[in-house]
């Protein structure tokens, strides 16, 4: 058996007829960028998240960059981020001339540790605007990451951000449809960045992303920023970017969005089977917080002899993978930025985490094959 981590082909086959039909209309009109499908998708996806505005962009990375740029145009600020995330999160902070400030994660949810964060912030002096200042760096924002489809503790993050006058940019690249206390991720922060890269729960057939926000002024600014800061043809108000979403991707995303709830439910059903059938093995499994709806972008486990298990699974045709083997604060281009809490959980997790396939098109026999293979390894 061969079970990949992501199966874009099976996913595409489900929407193919609808997508081909709509593509014909697009090619008939030849309005290829920021056209009617992009506008419709912005409206449909932002309403799905419970947000007023959606701004379609080129990628999740651009969604982060434009959000940070719009919220901290002056740059040179400290932006708090977990280190256990994909490189693009802190990278976008550096790209906007700001400074990533690294904090540890919690062991159960793998999202930012709000207790460590709060005790760090409470140790700092504040400036006149109430921003905490760390070694001359004024901290102005926080980027919680809803990692692997699991929402960060947003109520605590909102409390902390109010206390310290911090902007919140959610990194929702992995959490389409996830909920925290009954509200979808993507509508808690000043802005939220989504990726529709091909491996994501909602994915394009190339790169694509979106920013969601409830702030009208900010939405207008980010709509300008994605097209060179333009206010009308050849008149520019800001130095911006070229980060437009195209119609080809928007058609695919609209078709898949209609199926996202069904697909997330299937991921959840598979996760429940894994949790039940693997619970007696000598591995640590994800905890489900009672106030969150996880969307299982990844299913992780923590184990001893991780690399041996990884090899065994791969030898048996299972596309297991390590997300992420080296935390961001230890990556060469980021290693000189401040690390302000201990990194015990981040570093330990990188050494013993393993992700096994979970996607909506997996058949039950594939799920049980993975379970059997894991059980054989531990026999």
Q: Which helix (H) or strand (E) holds 100?
A: strand 99-103
Least distance (Å) from ligand PLP to the CB of residue 207? Answer: 6
Kindly state the tokens that stand for 51.
């947000």
Q: Which of residues 16-75 bind ligand PLP (CB under 6 A)?
A: 59-61
Half-sphere exposure of 211 (CA within 13 A, CB side): 34
Q: Which two tokens stand for residue 229?
A: 């800061």
β-strand pairing of 137-142 with 167-171: parallel
Minimal distance in Å, beta carbon 86 to ligand PLP?
A: 4
Nearer to ligand PLP, 171 or 247 (CB): 171
Rounded to whole angstroms, the Cα distance separating 281 from 243 reads 46
CA–CA distance, 376 with 374 (Å, rounded to integer): 5
Is 171 a binding residue for ligand PLP by CB under 6 A? The answer is yes
Nearer CB in complex with ligand PLP: 89/150: 89
Give phi and psi for 119, each to the nearest 5.
-70, -30
Q: How many residues bind ligand PLP (CB under 6 A)?
A: 15
173 binds ligand PLP (CB under 6 A): yes
Interaction between residue 309 and ligand PLP (CB under 6 A): no
**Which one of 133-141, 167-175, 210-218, 357-365 is the stretch in contact with ligand PLP (CB under 6 A)?**
167-175
Select the residue interacting with ligand PLP from 89, 96, 185, 352 (CB under 6 A). 89
167: which strand partners? 141
Supply the minimum distance, in Å, between the C-beta of residue 258 and ligand PLP: 21
CB of 351 to ligand PLP, least distance (A): 20
Q: How far is the CB of 56 from ligand PLP (least distance, A)?
A: 12
The encoded tokens of residue 199 equal 């491996």
- The yes or no reply on residue 170 touching ligand PLP (CB under 6 A) is no
Whose Cβ is closer to ligand PLP: residue 46's or residue 58's?
58
Is the Cβ–Cβ distance between 194 and 305 less than 8 Å? no
Helix (H, G, I), strand (E, B) or coil at 282: coil
Angle between helices 154-164 and 114-122 (to 10 degrees): 10
Question: x/- string (CB under 6 A) for ligand PLP, residues 109-148?
Answer: ------------------------------------x---
The tokens of 149 are what? 């489809």
Query: Residue 4 Cβ, how far from ligand PLP at the closest point, in Å?
Result: 17
Whether the link from the prior residue into 114 is cis, omega within 30° of 0, is no
Q: Could you tell me where the DSSP H helices lie in 50-175?
A: 60-71, 88-95, 114-122, 154-164
Q: Which is nearer to ligand PLP, 132 or 209 (CB)?
A: 209
Binding ligand PLP (rule: CB under 6 A), the pick from 46, 67, 85, 249 is 85
Sole window of 69-77, 125-133, 170-178, 212-220 interacting with ligand PLP (rule: CB under 6 A): 170-178
CA distance 268 to 360: 9
Question: Which secondary-structure segment (H or E) carries 102?
Answer: strand 99-103
209 lies in the binding site for ligand PLP (CB under 6 A): yes
Taking the least distance from each CB to ligand PLP, the nearer of 292 and 316 is 292
The 8-class DSSP code of residue 357 comes to -
Candidates 45-53, 84-92, 247-255, 272-280: pick the segment binding ligand PLP (CB under 6 A). Answer: 84-92
Interacting residue ranges for ligand PLP, rule: CB under 6 A: 59-61, 85-86, 88-89, 145, 171, 173-174, 195, 197, 207, 209
């Amino acid at each position: 058996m061969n079970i990949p981590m992501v199966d874009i082909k099976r996913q595409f086959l489900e929407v193919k007829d609808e997508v081909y039909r709509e593509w014909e209309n697009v090619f008939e009109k030849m309005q290829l960028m920021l056209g009617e499908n992009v506008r419709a998708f912005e409206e449909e996806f932002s309403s799905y998240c419970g947000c007023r505005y959606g701004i379609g962009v080129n990628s999740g990375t651009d969604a982060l960059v434009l959000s940070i740029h719009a919220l901290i145009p002056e740059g040179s600020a400290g932006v708090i981020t977990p280190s256990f995330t994909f490189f693009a999160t802190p990278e976008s902070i550096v790209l906007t001339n700001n400074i990533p400030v690294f904090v540890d994660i919690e062991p159960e949810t793998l999202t930012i540790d709000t207790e460590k964060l709060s005790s760090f912030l409470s140790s700092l002096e504040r400036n006149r605007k109430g921003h905490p200042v760390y070694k001359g760096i004024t901290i102005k924002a926080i980027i919680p990451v809803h990692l692997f489809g699991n929402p960060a503790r947003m109520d605590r993050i909102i409390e902390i951000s109010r206390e310290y006058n911090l902007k919140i940019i959610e990194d929702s690249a992995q959490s389409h449809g996830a909920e925290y206390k009954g509200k979808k991720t993507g509508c808690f922060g000043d802005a939220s960045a989504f990726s529709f890269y091909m491996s994501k729960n909602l994915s394009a057939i190339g790169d694509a992303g979106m920013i969601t926000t409830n702030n009208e002024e900010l939405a207008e600014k980010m709509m300008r920023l994605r097209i060179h800061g333009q206010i009308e043809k050849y008149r520019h108000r800001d130095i911006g970017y070229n980060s437009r979403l195209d119609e080809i991707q928007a058609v695919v995303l609209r078709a898949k969005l209609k199926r996202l709830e069904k697909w997330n439910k299937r991921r959840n059903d598979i996760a429940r089977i894994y949790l039940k059938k693997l619970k007696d093995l000598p591995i640590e499994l994800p905890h489900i917080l009672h106030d969150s709806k996880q969307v299982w972008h990844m299913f992780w486990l923590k184990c001893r002899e991780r690399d041996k298990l990884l090899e065994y699974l791969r030898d048996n045709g299972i596309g297991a993978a390590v997300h992420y083997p080296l935390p961001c604060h230890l990556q060469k281009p980021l290693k000189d930025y401040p690390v302000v809490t201990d990194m015990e959980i981040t570093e330990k997790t990188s050494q013993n985490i393993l992700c096994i396939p979970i996607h909506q098109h997996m058949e039950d026999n594939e799920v049980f094959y993975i379970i059997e293979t894991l059980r054989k390894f531990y026999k």
